[in-house]
Amino acid sequence: MDNDASMILNDELPPDHRSGFVAVIGKPNVGKSTLINAWLGEKVAIVSPKPQTTRHRLRGILTRPDAQIIFVDTPGIHRPRHKLGEFMVETATKSIPDADVVLFMVDVSEMPTAEDEQIAQLIEDRGQSPVILVLNKADLLPPDKVQPHSDAYFELVQYDEWMMISATRGDNRDKLVDMIVARLPEGPRYYPPDQLTDQTMRFIAAELIREQVLRFVHQEVPHAVAVAVGEWKQRREDLTYIGATVYVEKDSQKGIIIGQGGRMLKRIGQAARGEIEQLVGNRVYLELWVKVRKKWRKDEDELRRLGYALPRKKS
């Protein structure tokens, strides 16, 4: 950021203003994206009951008078089965040493799994910053399981502080933010106060389309889906045209997503259009195509074309 922009952004901030990057780390489906969306009051990360919904590292920016928190939403750390999975795990893992605070988020309604143990070890090996253990899904925790489940997570990782929350119901969300701010270093604002994410409109629109595929299509098909927005045109002041392609790995998956008489694709498009209209603030004409790219999750060149920025191998 250039100095002039920094001066404009940070004019008249309190002398003890705090800011920094908070990596939200955990296995798939523990509620990382749900929590960040709740804090920001808007959907910047898509959510789904299906694991491995988040694929990229994205930033959600919470600005208040005394602090600016840049939450880094990361893919769930899991045992990868293809190049896409390796990209997701590497993306999440790289966030740990760069963070000012690490939130290790777990599902306290269940006992720790091997994935939780793996993440705890990663945090110990790579982390240098304060760790806050976030025991999420307290609303699903039976009273007789509170002590044994909590104790199991306390023994799992070395942490500086902990908080039991419900990301969906709101229990202790505000207290957790105050706990984070107290551990951030003093510093300036890195983003304008009204900016909520570092992602482009195109990226978010593509994710909103993929979210509806996750919603309506089941079994293994959603995990084989990628979405790319090819066209984005302002047709009129109140109408945005968006053309996007849904990529799958097999002809059978293409048939499932299109559906009989195109009904499934129409259903996905209608639901996605409503979400995108909230994003852009006007009417949207959304056109979708479905194409096959065989085994794209295992092909590094295909992954790069679809926006998964794998580091190129040295020759």
* pLDDT surpassing 50 at residue 156: yes
Q: What percent of the chain has pLDDT over 90?
A: 59
Question: In angstroms, rounded to a whole number, what is the distance separating the alpha carbons of residues 128 and 20?
Answer: 14
- 75-89, 125-139, 191-205, 239-253: least confidently modelled range: 75-89
Q: Calculate helix-pair angle for 32-40, 173-183, nearest 10 degrees.
A: 90
* pLDDT surpassing 60 at residue 285: yes
Query: What is the chain's mean pLDDT, rounded?
Result: 87
Whole-prediction pTM value?
0.79
* pLDDT surpassing 60 at residue 5: no
Question: In angstroms, rounded to a whole number, what is the distance separating the alpha carbons of residues 20 and 110?
Answer: 31
Question: In angstroms, rounded to a whole number, what is the distance separating the alpha carbons of residues 45 and 56?
Answer: 10
- Position 298 scores a pLDDT of 87
* pLDDT surpassing 50 at residue 2: no
The whole-number average pLDDT for the span 75-104 is 79
In the chain the domains, ranked by start, together with CATH numbers, are 3-183 (3.40.50.300), 201-305 (3.30.300.20)
- Position 90 scores a pLDDT of 78
Question: In angstroms, rounded to a whole number, what is the distance separating the alpha carbons of residues 92 and 97?
Answer: 10
- Position 48 scores a pLDDT of 62
29 vs 26, 56, 224, 236, 296, CA distance in Å? 8, 15, 18, 40, 24
pLDDT bucket at 232, cuts 50 / 70 / 90: very high
